[in-house]
Chains A and B, each alone.
Chain A
Amino acid sequence: MGLKQKLHTLKQKYKGKKMAPAFNALHTFLYLPNETTHSGSHVRAADDLKRTMNTVIMALIPCLIFGMFNAGYQTNLQTDPNITQATGFFSGEFWNWANFEIGLWKVLPLVLVSYGVGLAVEFLFAIIKGHEVEEGYLVTGMLVPLIMPIDIPLWMLIVAVVFGVVIGKEVFGGTGMNILNPALTIRAFLFFAYPTWMSGDKVWVHGAVETAGQPDAISGETILGSLAQGHEISYSIADMFLGFIPGSVGETSTLLILLGALILIFTKIGSWRIILSTVLGALAMGLLFNGIVDMGWIDSSSKFYGLMNTEFWHHLIIGGFAFGAVYMATDPVTASQTNKGKWIYGFLIGFISILIRVFNPAYPEGVMLAILLMNVFAPTIDHYVIQGNVKKRMKRIKVKTA
């Protein structure tokens, strides 16, 4: 008897019992169910919700692997004087076992905890409420470790995941009903609950917290952090684009995020409208700030000078902007649904991200807050887009009948 048959028998055995949703979820996650519906008309398509989610996860895998190498690389670069900076994307200084080992031991627990706790909560709710386990957490569970600082204590992650899944999603009715992106809800919770672990100049490189204040202290500052402090940055444009910089686990490599974006766009899972308009919004805001500096309205004595003077397109490759634009803003549940709405929604995310980045040094990463804010406004945007369309059509009727 194969695994599929065994799962099917289990499913039959528990049919109508309390635990049934748990077995059904396992079964349909691994295999196509045996039974098919017979009546009614059907759209024949392979891309059910689980396959959709799996595609997003596949698009995230390169970022995850890169994140593991990068976690080790950032630590080793600072602790081991023999290690030199990586030069190209395929540089041996980056892709080696010593880096991967550290990264694996730090990142894998994040992934396991995120999935373990999140799915446990999902299964629990499915069993209590008697509905099928929903697939929403498959992607959230992968996104969460990628947007965490490397040294976040695991118990904090557990608290945050429980909060995010229950308050961010289940109370609204589960997958598809949530107002806010669950992964960002989890991150925002951690950000406000334990700010010392989620921002500042110590948390972004493994080992920086433990060695703080010692002679061999590791600096864990991100580029955005340094810019907000008005420090010079020592990373080249290539480093920023390829991702050899400190930051949350999976957000650093713009190159791999672009790869993920291509996967999402070609499989038609992510909306290219949202990604493009988010980038446009950020560029517009960046240009505006550059313009202010060029006009000489503020000078280097201003505390906003460092970030305002950053070339407008650099904003796209530093911090979590690219990751947010590609994987978070495009979340089909929380984004605007109408095409025109998507343009507005995306543009405002980019616009507000850079605004928060520049004007509020306490929140160096504005993209999280910008997306959460626009999540709240997405239904409003849709409402006005639809009302606008209704009005336009009403006019057409009047012209015809008149």
Chain B
Amino acid sequence: MKMIGGRKLFKKLLASMTGMIMAIGMLAGCTDKEPTSSNSTSQSKDGNQLVTITTARTLKDDTKFRQGEDVNNNPVTRWAEKELGIKLKTLWTAPNDEQYYNKIRLALSSGQELPDVFMVSDGLLINDLIRSGKVMSVDKAIEQYASPRLKEIFNKFPEAFYPATVDGNRYGIPRFSGGNGSDSLLWIRKDWLDKLGLQPPKTIEDLEKIMDAFVNQDPDGNGKKDTIGLTLASKNGLATWLADGSFVFGAYGNYVPSSWSKGEDGSLVYGSVQPSIKKGLAKLREWYEKGYLDKEIGILDEQTAIKSFVAGKSGIIAAPPWGAGWPIADAIKNNPGAIVEPYPLPSGSDGKIGRRGEGLTVGMFLFNKNFKHMDKFFEYWDAIYSYIFNDSRYFKYGLFEGYDYVMKDGQPVYDPNQIPRGKIDPGKYFLTTDIPTVPYMLYNLAEELYTTKRKPKNAYEYTKIVSQGEPYMKAATIVNQQNQYRIENEFSGPPTKTMQKRGEFLTKMERETFANIIYGRVPLSEFDNFVEKWEGSGGQEITKEVNEWYRSVKGEK
């Protein structure tokens, strides 16, 4: 921490004390300071124009640096400066998303200058930033500067722009997610199945038989009735990213709780109030009563729910493919002899299958309205995308030699143990805070690598897929093959007017009702009362507003 000199500070205190100028200045509303040195161009050593782009980002604990390097001095910044003539300057960092958004919001609220480029995923904050007029529309810039292949991706996933679309103008560039990266499948204790002579489940009915056996036939052989069938998290909603319960609802209809998806007439409807949800809740209620679920399910969030599975007290968990590394690996470590295998999601009585589909974007990159170098930005963007398209001028075998790979005898080696001073992922130094992605690409690749058994072509394929192990690749293949069952939340805009007013109450009511139904504290018919109350207490208006939003971002009148 740097210290300002005592005298300077004293003067400052004195000045503010006597004049109270500040208070007046504050009331007058945010007197802006001079923009922080953005848009400056300077000469680089070899005479080329050097463009400075400022940013702010999260810097998580898993982003490691080599000795002497940091967020403003690393292979990526050096590469950008040398090859692209871009000086990337990170003005500030925050260690996690929550703190990052807090700081952006504070900067906006107190009239601070925003960085040139920064990512936001919170819909409301994006909307506030757009309405403040401090960020600019990117329509023209995409038209002028984006490379053809970037345009192609952008056109392929138009809905990825919806979170930052206002009045038909696009204000942000999406930071794509893996598409189906956090979609779930079933992980089941294969050793338990074998021990009890059971087959993997094809239907919910099969699943019930298995759960029953897991609960009543002592699969862990300790002579105690202390095992459960299925690990679910419910504190933050039943459709979620780990210990996910959405497949139970997906087996009975095209809706999952807390999610806006297309109804029969093509307009968006709220999942939680659809009749099929009642069927799913009825199942969960029955399962809870029979002891298939964790007694504490009501208070378990994603990260506390998994402990039953990790401790070897539960036989099934719905988790994404990356679950192979955590928590599945921990479960195997804790329970010698445990075998956990990935399986496709089971179907309901009429053959229906459905799962919560992850959104297409992780966040939107927004641009300060004074930012002048969109051309440079897109040059950078295309350059880092070239890596995953495998045609990069800069990154043939990997990103940076000595970081994610080394050359030995003219061949790239990816094994972390062979890299001097260990392996470090320089992809985290990119503006995207990770190697950029295109939706569905990762699991498509994984499926290809898993089914063809071909060798990885670059450090990306090795690190992100092959080195994750066989179970991961198998799971990714299964998830990819069930892509048609995705039920995505299609509402990605900011909370609507009525949502801001009534949303808290409606969500609270929903969580409370669902929890009480599962615990059998209220009759199942309470669901109907909930639906009625939901409609009457603002739900109808919200549905109307959501559809207005939907039409507007799609460009319909």
A and B bind:
no
B residues sitting closer than 8 Å to A (CB atoms) are none
Taking Cβ atoms with an 8 Å cutoff, the residues of A that contact B are: none
